Amino acid sequence: MSTSHDRLPRLLSLVPYLIARPGIPVTEAAADFGVTPRQLRKDLELLWMCGLPGYGPGDLIDLSFEGETITVTYDAGMNRPLRLTGAEATALLVALRALLATPGLADTDAVARAIAKIEAAAGQAEPAGVAVALSAAEAKRTVETRTLVQQAVADGRALRMTYYTASKDEITERTVDPMRVVIVAGRSYLEAWCRRAEGVRMFRMDRIDDVTVLDEPAAPPPTARPTDLSGGLFQPAPDQQEAVLVLDPDARWVAEYYPVTELDELDRGRLRVAMRYADTSWMVRLLLGLGGDVVVEQPAELATRLRARAAEALSRARHLTVT
């Protein structure tokens, strides 16, 4: 992760960092700066050539190496790090404020103290201009579920829960071994080993209808790995099908809500997209709800099934005698 652009900030931080930790092993310092020990040694060799005007032996930064450890013996006046830039203070403080505003995420008292101290030390850093609500979509009930689940994760206890699977429109009882709680894109999830599915699953907190903390310990198998979230929560799976849809302006929100590939911008504000889906019954429910605002171009079976389902609904509705 070391690029030449990072080097000057690192060089300016290195001397004060070492002053605060006399005799620190090279490997440990390198890990803290996210560089190889070899790169760190190169940095130290460079700093050794720097110092104050005069640039005699007594003016240059002096370091002493003992075995694999380093100590600063002369700092040439560079004993404190550079203040935070506006962007750095923003990135840190906005994240802290987001943690503070989300119940149960972190020790809020500690977060508030950290914010106050960093604001004081950052001094004249610019006001933020960035704000983040981590879980604004959460209802009170969901926050209660999350709080309970978080405690189970912290205590390492298995859970028994009633869970609604939206893709299949079914409610199931499951016993799971919690791994962690994840908050992404305004929603919270429990990531756990599901004993029923025998795999790692993400459970949306607002779809957990009932949950009991069990006495038995959480024991995900050693092979259970947390999901890599760097590409977002929805990742294309090989067994998914793909539909080509034309969205009317009133249905364009679909392209913002679900991961789709935008194909063509059409007249009258319509949009042609390709959308992947794992479960046909889920896709039919979505499309039925969109009514005439969407046209299914492909696959033909999906369009047929959709029309049949709508016709069936209309026919049944005619038999409903409203009193």
Q: Judged by CB under 8 A, which of 249, 278, 298, 304 binds other proteins?
A: 249
Residue 158 as a binder of other proteins (CB under 8 A): the answer is: no
Closer of 237 and 314 to other proteins (Cβ): 314
Alpha-carbon distance of 287 to 303, in angstroms, equals 9
Residue 5 as a binder of other proteins (CB under 8 A): the answer is: yes
Which of these, 227, 165, 236, 226, lies nearest to 197 by C-alpha position? 165
Residue 35 as a binder of other proteins (CB under 8 A): the answer is: no
Q: Judged by CB under 8 A, which of 37, 62, 128, 204 binds other proteins?
A: 128
Min. distance of Cβ 138 from other proteins in angstroms? 10
Cβ(100)–Cβ(111) under 8 Å? yes
| Binding positions for other proteins, 279-318, rule CB under 8 A | 284-293, 306-307, 309-318
Q: Judged by CB under 8 A, which of 68, 126, 173, 242 binds other proteins?
A: 126
Binding mask 171-210 for other proteins (x = CB under 8 A): x--------xxxxxxxxx--------------------x-
Token look-up 């939206």 returns 166
Could you count the other beta carbons within 10 Å of the beta carbon of residue 43?
19
Cβ(135)–Cβ(205) under 8 Å? no
Residue 140 as a binder of other proteins (CB under 8 A): the answer is: no
Residue 170 as a binder of other proteins (CB under 8 A): the answer is: yes
Min. distance of Cβ 1 from other proteins in angstroms? 9
275-311 burial, b at 16+ Cβ within 10 Å, e below that, comes to bbbeeeeebbebbeebeebbbbeeeeebeebbeeeee
Could you count the other beta carbons within 10 Å of the beta carbon of residue 20?
12
